[in-house]
Amino acid sequence: MSNFVPSVVTASSGSLIQARKRVLSQYRDWIRSAPAIVDQYRLEVTPEMVRRRVRQEFEKHRYVRDLQVIDVLLFKGRIEYEETMNFWKQGSHVMRFFSNDVYETSKPNDFLTKFYEGRQ
């Protein structure tokens, strides 16, 4: 494949400033790759929808300040990026990334709703 993304050596951030630079670099990689992801997997979503979902995922961890946690999140994000760009996933795996929104909003939040549905 021409879009092959080489592996990157795992590194630890020495400071929050360095971690921020690494996070922004990874974010830019995802945003720039949105059109290629849509084309490569023949998704039924637009590149803008991919960008929006990536942004949501990064915003979810916006206020993390522990360097070790940031490094783990960066590692996991890089693995996801490599697997996605190297076409090591199937289309259903990539689309599952979008279906999380639907399931999160439909989950019952109160005890009685969960009880009536048979959940514990």
In terms of pLDDT, which residue wins out, 3 or 25?
Answer: 25
3 is a domain residue:
no
Cα–Cα distance between 114 and 103 in angstroms, integer? 14
**77 domain-assigned:** yes
- Domain presence at residue 104: yes
For 82, the domain range is: 16-116
Residue 76 CA to its chain's centroid (Å): 9
Number of compact structural domains in the chain: 1
In a domain, residue 84? The reply is yes
- Structure token pair of residue 48: 């803008």
Please check whether residue 108 lies inside any domain of the structure.
yes
- Select from 7, 79, 90, 6 the least CA-distant residue to 41: 90
1, pLDDT greater than 50: no
Q: In 61-119, where does DSSP find H-type helix?
A: 67-85, 91-106, 111-116
Compute the average pLDDT of residues 70-89: 95
Neighbours of 30 (CB within 10 A): 21
